[in-house]
Chain A
Amino acid sequence: MEVLFALVVGVLFACGIYMILRRNLLKIVLGLALLGQAVNLMIFTAGRLTRGAAPIIAQGLEGFEQPHADPVPHALILTAIVIGFGLQAFALVLVRRVYQETGTDDGDALTTSEG
């Protein structure tokens, strides 16, 4: 299972990096989104994959039953998803505004700020 996840994470990272290296601004934002998902899955995998054991203390018990899934990575991913959503939404709006202002979505054409 870990191997499969590692492969998926690797492929996602590769796709994301390929996309952020492209000139089209929208594709760059898509690349950033892919990278975000890659990291989320990576945190999930690095936090150990434990199947069929929710981190919920059953009634009448004092603590977790072993084995149980670690809830911390889930909390991290949840936070990261929310933050990533905000960042990507902003980036999308920015791409739109840049397009409105400059009439191009080519990253190499953005040269007015280079003086």
Chain B
Amino acid sequence: MTILIFLPVILPLATATAALLAGRNVRVQRSISVAGMLALLAVSCLLLRAVIADGIQVGQAGGWASPFGITFVADVFSAIMCVMAGLIGSAVAVYALAGMDEQREAFGFHPLLNVLLMGVCGAFLTGDIFNLYVWYEVMLMASFVLLTLGGTRSQLEGGMKYVAMNIVASVIFLAGAGLLYGTVGSLNMADAAVRLPLTREGGQTTVLAALFLVAFGIKAAVFPLFFWLPSSYHTPPVVVTAVFSALLTKVGVYSIVRVMTLMFAPEAGFLRTFLLVVAGATMIVGVLGAVAQMDVRRLLSFHIVSQIGYLLMGVALFTPLALAGTVFFLVHVILSKTSLFLVSGIMATYKNTYDLKKLGGLYRSTPALSFLFLVAAVSLAGLPPSSGFWAKLTLVRAGLENGDFSIVAVALAVSILTLFSMIKIWNEAFWRNPGDAPSDETPETLPDLNPRSRTGLYGPLVVLTVLIAALGLGAGPLLDLSLKAAAQLMHPSEYITAVLGGIR
């Protein structure tokens, strides 16, 4: 079943091609896109099942034995991430049926979305550092066009910053990959992991670690490299923002985790304090930025940054429990953030604005939407019994066990501020009476959605909300899975043996 590991890349490519061939026929494109995403989700689930049942899956592209060819590797962590990519892809593709304007759809939204997913899944599955660079570029190119598709003024301005910053990050990443080859003579990550400790070339390993950290740090929007994110992510249609926030920065985090655990684990002691400081600063600065915002999408964009800090905290602590916390947190934050963005999209469909000052009274006119928002918001803030609570509990416990009390204090304080900014959205958009009529008892009538767009907008949101609630009430299975993933990450020998087989 080696083909299975390549399918998460092949399927989106096939879907994108088919959708392109449909030309301007939006209807055909839509059905192809949704079918392709659902197939991707199914294939990723199969892959996860295979990984859980039979251990790490390896595929050699073109039959070239590693470390000479390009290797695809799926351990529990990458398989979980692929499942999340398939899930979010499906949710967003369905949401786009109602939440995307036809013009953007006719000009290639669906093929681009699939190409983006191909890049994301490729980055999760590849075992080759240069191939990772190529998947990053696939992902970037698609994201450039998705971000600027439609060409409104703010999109173009945000796009300019996004493009420039990401090309710089790519250059740094490429430099790291090139120097890694110069140092160890291999691009296969498992092979490089074996050879890197053997080359005692002074500080070269540290330089490589720093290059990769900066490159992935820019992509993951880590403090102080995050400024491009809040000035670009809120400009495209909310569907695009939702998929970006769910997957793109998370690919950066995934790469940091992969590279740190596999190749630079011995350096982790040296980099730990540094990473802890960066993680704390990312949390604080992100949440302070969010608290100051009055535009829902900008507020949520700053929260993306803040949540990255938590993910990084798990990497910095570098214990099995902490890494399990990071994996769990990734799943949780992808679900919660996507649903929050989708909720904000529905708000804007009703009220035609993202400005908190102009929103209001939504609780009275649409209690269902308020409830969906509440679940995701509570989860993001980390109140029990939500998925965010378990994610944060795991990280906090790992921090306490390690004796790193300051990062724990920061994490908890930032949670309170997160809760504060969620309450701010709740108060302004849902609870408060709409501006000019403070004592109005009759609910404001909202524009009616036709049944089809109602299903399109609410369907994926309900599924995500149910998943968040399910994770909160029954966190056990995912936590076990995260611990399994963390065990594999902490002991890369399994990964290395799986990739290099009998060679060593």
Contact = CB atoms under 8 A, between A and B. Distances in A.
Contacts of A43: 174-175, 177-179, 181-182
B298 interface: yes
Contacts of B295: 115
Interface of A: 20, 25, 28-29, 32, 35-36, 38-39, 42-43, 45-48, 72-73, 76, 79-80, 83, 86-88, 90-91, 94-95, 97-98, 101-102, 107, 110-115
Interface string B177-193: 11101110001000000
Contact of B163 (A47, A80, A90): A90
A28 B232 CA distance: 18
Contacts of B179: 42-43, 46
Nearest to B176: A39
B382 to A, nearest CB: 27
A63 to B, nearest CB: 14
Given A35-B171, A76-B181, A101-B153, 16 more contacts: A25-B160, A32-B168, A39-B175, A43-B174, A46-B178, A46-B179, A72-B181, A76-B177, A87-B141, A90-B141, A94-B156, A94-B163, A102-B156, A112-B153, A113-B157, A113-B158
Query: Interface on chain A toward B: helix, strand, loop, or mixed SS?
Result: helix
Nearest to B160: A98
B235 interface: yes
B159 interface: yes
Contact of A35 (B140, B145, B159, B168): B168
The 9 closest A-B pairs by CB, nearest first: A46-B182, A43-B178, A113-B158, A110-B157, A113-B154, A113-B157, A35-B171, A83-B137, A112-B154
Contacts, number: 112
Contacts of A95: 160
B460 to A, nearest CB: 27
B144 interface: yes
Contacts of B148: 94, 97
Interface of B: 130, 134, 137, 140-141, 144-145, 148, 151, 153-161, 163-164, 167-168, 170-171, 174-175, 177-179, 181-183, 187, 231-232, 234-235, 293, 295, 298
Contacts of B187: 72, 76
B163 A76 contact: no
Q: Looking at B144, B145, B187, which has the most chain A CB atoms within 10 Å of its CB?
A: B144
Contact of A91 (B154, B163, B231, B298): B163
Given A87-B140, A95-B160, A47 B154 contact: no
B134 A83 contact: yes
A32 B181 contact: no
A101 B141 contact: no
Given A39-B178, A47-B181, A91-B163, A114 B231 contact: yes
A45 to B, nearest CB: 8
